[in-house]
Structure 1
Amino acid sequence: MSGQFPDLDATVPLVSAAELKARVDRDEHVVVLDTRRPDDYESWHIDGENVTAINVPFTAFMDGDDPAGGVPKALLEALPESYDAPMVTCCAKGISSLYVAEFLTREGYDIVALDDGMRGWAGLYESTPLASEFLPDEAVVRQFVRPSSGCLAYMIVSNGEAMVVDPLRAFANEYAAAADDQDASLVHAVDTHVHADHVSGVTAVADATDATALVPRGAAERGYEGDADYVDAGDELHVGDVAVEAVALPGHTTEMLGFRIGDVLLTGDTIFTDSVARPDLEEGDEGARDAASQLYDTIEDIAEFDDDVLVAPGHTSETASPRDDGTYAATLGELRKRLPAFRRDREDFVDAILDGMPPRPNNYETIIAANLGREDVDDSEAFELELGPNNCAAGE
C-alpha cells in the first residue's frame, strides 16, 4: 500500500475494468463505492441499472493520520439491504480506494478494489457486430464502445478490406487488431466531424496501417491543419465489395457527415438512441440557435429514410438501453416513436434543445484544437483530456 496511508496489514483483491463490466453485464447487483471528491463523482462515475453507486470520500475513512474508528455513517446509510458481493471501491487512479478497501476488509466486508481506478475504467473498450439483416451480404459492421464515456466507433469489413469510422486515438491499435481478426486490411480511417470529447485516431490509425486518413471537407472551413485528406457529402468510399456513401448531416457541427451502408446509417453526433446532438460546441452560445435550426433540418432529412433503416450513432449514454444483440442502435421507426425531435415544429425544437444542454465536455476547446491539427498532444495527454463524460447530447 502507498506510504501516504496507514498500513492496515490487509490484502485486497484487485478487479479489472473488464471483470467489473462482466458482472454488470450479467445483471449482478453491484455496489461501487467511489472515494473521490463529490464534485468529481457528480461529473462522472460508474453507473447502470443494476449498479448502486455510492460516494464517500476517502477522508471519511481517516482520522488525521490514523484510520477512522469505524465504518463511516454515510456508507452505512447508503448501502442497500442486499447486493451481490463483493463491493467494489474505486477512485481516480486506484490508490486511495485501495486503502478504503483494506479498511473495509479489516471491518469484515467482502470487497475488491478496481485496478487503476477510473483510469482503468476509461481504458476499457469492447466491440459487437451490428445485426447482419441490415447489411449487404458481403459486409460486416462492428460497433466499438468505450463504456466510460459512451463513445462509439465502427468498423466496416468486406472481402479483405476494412474502414473505421470515428476511431479514438487511445485505441488506435485495437482497430488494426480487429481488422486482422477479420482477415482484412484497413483502407480508410474517417471521422464524421471534428470531435469535441475525444482525440481523433484517424491519423494514428493511418500511421500504423496502410489506411487513408479522412475528415469531412467542411473541416477545412474550420481551419483544419492536420494531415488527413477530405471526404465530401455524396462521395462513395469503397471497402471490399461494398460502397459506403457519405451523407451531409450538419447541426451538431457544420461539417458533420454520416455514412450509409445498406440499411445502416452511421449518424455520428446527430441523433442518438435516446436524444439528439447539442449545437453549441462549434460557435458557442452565440451560434447555438442557428446550429439548432440547422439540426432540425437535418432531422427532417433523416425522417425521409425508411422506418427499417438502422440508426447507429456516435455516442450512447447511461439512459440508453442496448438492443437484444448488445449494440446501441435503433431503427428509424423506433426513433420516430421515441424521440420528440421527430414531432416538434422548428421553434419548439430549437427552444427544447437550447433549454436541455448539460455542461460542455471536459477540455473540449483543447480537444477541438488537437483535432483541427492546431495543437499537439501526446498519447498520455490525449487520454487525460478525454477522462469524464462526453456530454455531446442535448436532453431535449
Structure 2
Amino acid sequence: MSPKALARRLQRGDPTTVLDVRNRDEFEEWHVDGRSVTAEQIPAVRFTQAEALDTVDELAEQFADAPEPVVVVCGEGNASDHVADMLSDAGVAAENLETGMEGWADVYLSTEIPHADATVLQYDRPSSGCLASMVVSGDEAVVVDPLRAFTDRYVEDAADYGADIVAAIDTHVHADHVSGVRTVADLEGASVVLPEGATRRGLAYDAELVENGDTVSVGDTELVAVASPGHTSEMTAYRLGDLLFVGDSFFLESVARPDLEEGDAGAPDAARRLHETLVERYADFDGDTRVAPAHYSAQATPGDSGAYVATLDTLRQRLDALSMDTDEFVEFILEDMPPRPANFERIIDTNLGQQPLDDDEAFEMELGPNNCAATVPEA
C-alpha cells in the first residue's frame, strides 16, 4: 500500500489495523494513528524468531478479529515487507506500507474548502497533523502557514490555477515545523508576511509586518488580520469572508497550549490571553463563521468536504473550555499538557531566522506529532 493510499483511507475513516514492527521507543515517539486506526506494535525480530521456530501462525492469530487490511510499517519499508509476506502466508490480509515511515512523512494531501469569494485549498500532512492553506483569486495566490518541505507543491498548485503566489503568511512563529514562507518568497518573489509581534521575539530577517485590522490582498479579495494572542504573543488569525484561518488559536478538538514561548513561568498569563481571544474577541464573529486551524489531532473528523473545518457554533458546543470562566480555563489547559514538540527551541530559532538549517536537517527535526494543543483527545 502506498503512503498516500493509506492517508486517504484514514481520511475517509476506513477501519485499518496498523502493525508497527519498529522498536517500542520508536513507536511510542511517533507512529501512524487516526480515529479509525487500531495500532499494534510487535518488533520485527519477534517475527524473525517465529519464522525460525515455525510459529508465525501463533503471532498471526492475534489479528484474526482485527480490522482489515493489516498494514505493516517500519522505518523504510524493508523489514515490514518481509513481515507482511509472513502474515499473508499465514492467512492474514496484510500489506506492506511502501517506503515506511519515511514515505509517510512525505504525504501531503490537498482538499478544497468551498468559498464564495476565492478558491481555497487546505493542505494536510497526516504524519504530523499540520495544516496549511492557499487562497487563489484571479491570477494571484497567497499561502498561509506553509511548510518548507512542500514549497514546490504550493508553487505547482498555484500555477495549475494560472496564479502566482504574491504573499506567504505565517500566523505566528511556529514551534513544531520549519516554516516555508521564505522559501516560497525566494521561488516566487512573494512578500513574507508576519505578525508585527514577531520582532519582539527576535525576528532576524526582513518581512512585511501586520497588526490587527491590516489586510493582505489577493486578486479581487483580501485577508484581514485578527490579533489572537495566547498560543504565542504575536499569534494572528486571518479572515476571508466567512472563513477564519486561526493558526494555532484552537483546533477542532482542543485549544492551543500556552507554554511554547515563555515556558512554564509565562504559561498562566498566556492562557489568560488565550481565553480573552477565544471567548471575548472571537465572540464578535457570527456563529456560522468557519474555522480552519493549522493542526488537527489523530482523533479529529474532517467535515463533509474532507477538510478540517468547523463553524464557531459547532466548536462552542463541542469544546467545554470555551464556556469556562478565565480561572477555570487556565487551570484546565495547564493541568495535563502533552510533551512539547520535538526540537521546538531550535525550530523556533530557525523560523525567526536566527540560525540556518538545511533541508535535510529541517525534515528530520520536524518528524513526529505537532503537540501544539493543550490537551490530547482520547481515542
Q: TM-score, normalised by structure 2?
A: 0.94
Q: CA deviation at 1:81?
A: 1.5
Q: Which residue of 2 aligns with 1:12?
A: none
Give the letter aligned to residue 76 of structure 1: E
Structure 1: tracts of 5 or more residues without a match: 1-14
Amino-acid identity (%): 49
Q: Which residue of 1 aligns with 2:268?
A: 289
Q: Which residue of 1 aligns with 2:301?
A: 321
Q: Which residue of 1 aligns with 2:182?
A: 203
Output aligned runs, 1:292-307, within 5 Å: 292-299=271-278, 300-307=280-287
Q: 1:321 to 1:108 in 2, by over 3 A?
A: closer
Given that 1:61 and 1:72 are in contact with CA atoms closer than 8 Å, whether structure 2 keeps it comes out as no
Q: CA deviation at 1:318?
A: 1.2
Q: Which residue of 2 aligns with 1:70?
A: 55
Q: CA deviation at 1:255?
A: 0.7
Q: CA deviation at 1:232?
A: 2.4
Q: Distance in 2 between matches of 1:237 and 1:27?
A: 36
Q: Which residue of 2 aligns with 1:32?
A: 18
Give the letter aligned to residue 65 of structure 2: E
Q: Which residue of 2 aligns with 1:92?
A: 75
Q: Which residue of 2 aligns with 1:264?
A: 243
Q: Distance in 1 between matches of 2:81 and 2:195?
A: 45
Give the letter aligned to residue 194 of structure 1: V
Q: Which residue of 2 aligns with 1:46?
A: 32
Aligned length: 375
Q: 1:313 to 1:25 in 2, by over 3 A?
A: closer
Q: Which residue of 1 aligns with 2:94?
A: 111
Give the letter aligned to residue 42 of structure 1: E
Q: Distance in 1 between matches of 2:98 and 2:313?
A: 42
Q: CA deviation at 1:67?
A: 4.0
Given that 1:169 and 1:199 are in contact with CA atoms closer than 8 Å, whether structure 2 keeps it comes out as yes
Q: CA deviation at 1:231?
A: 2.4
Give the letter aligned to residue 378 of structure 1: D
Given that 1:160 and 1:184 are in contact with CA atoms closer than 8 Å, whether structure 2 keeps it comes out as yes
Q: CA deviation at 1:242?
A: 0.5
Given that 1:303 and 1:342 are in contact with CA atoms closer than 8 Å, whether structure 2 keeps it comes out as no
Give deviations 1:234-290, integer Å, cap 9, x for gaps.
211110011211110010000111000111111000011111000001111111111
Output aligned runs, 1:372-391, within 5 Å: 372-391=352-371
Q: Which residue of 1 aligns with 2:311?
A: 331
Q: Which residue of 2 aligns with 1:176?
A: 155
Structure 2: tracts of 5 or more residues without a match: none
Q: CA deviation at 1:46?
A: 1.5
Q: Which residue of 1 aligns with 2:337?
A: 357
Give the letter aligned to residue 38 of structure 1: R
Q: CA deviation at 1:336?
A: 1.2
Q: Which residue of 1 aligns with 2:230?
A: 251
Give deviations 1:291-329, integer Å, cap 9, x for gaps.
111111111211221111111111111121111111111
Q: CA deviation at 1:93?
A: 2.2
Q: Which residue of 1 aligns with 2:171?
A: 192
Q: Distance in 1 between matches of 2:298 and 2:132?
A: 17
Structure 2 SS opposite 1:62: helix
Given that 2:57 and 2:90 are in contact with CA atoms closer than 8 Å, whether structure 1 keeps it comes out as no
Q: CA deviation at 1:116?
A: 1.6
Q: Which residue of 2 aligns with 1:22?
A: 8
Structure 2 SS opposite 1:308: coil
Q: Is 1:123 matched with 2:96?
A: no
Q: What's the C-alpha RMSD, in Å, of the aligned pairs? A: 1.9
Given that 1:61 and 1:68 are in contact with CA atoms closer than 8 Å, whether structure 2 keeps it comes out as no
Give the letter aligned to residue 204 of structure 2: E
Given that 1:165 and 1:189 are in contact with CA atoms closer than 8 Å, whether structure 2 keeps it comes out as yes
Q: Distance in 2 between matches of 1:215 and 1:276?
A: 22
